[in-house]
Amino acid sequence: MPQNLTVAHLIAQLQGLDPGLTVRLAVNPDWPFSHLPAAAAVVHNDVVYLPEDGQEGYLPTAVREELAWA
């Protein structure tokens, strides 16, 4: 995956998934938490920002291992 993810790359990653799946943001390998994404995105200077809308808790161990954050 590129360092600067584009909307096209994100769509390609998600297009084959069940559209009813819940979305969470996995944040910071030093503190592996699951965060809730906000419903709105903000575009500024050709960058799309997906805001965080709260912390859910620690990432499941299997997710940390898959991301090599264990």
Helix (H) or strand (E) holding 7: helix 7-14
CA torsion through residues 8, 18, 28, 50, sign: positive
Instruction: Tell me the whole-structure pTM to 2 decimals.
Output: 0.75
Tens-digit pLDDT profile for the chain (70 aa)?
557 889 999 999 899 999 999 999 998 878 899 999 998 899 999 889 999 999 999 999 999 999 998 6
In 1-70, where do the E strands start and end?
25-27, 33-37, 42-44, 47-49, 52-58
- List the chain domain ranges: 21-66
Using alpha carbons, select from 32, 39, 40 the residue that is nearest to residue 56. 32
Using alpha carbons, select from 44, 5, 8 the residue that is nearest to residue 25. 5
Q: What would the two tokens of residue 37 be?
A: 């994404």
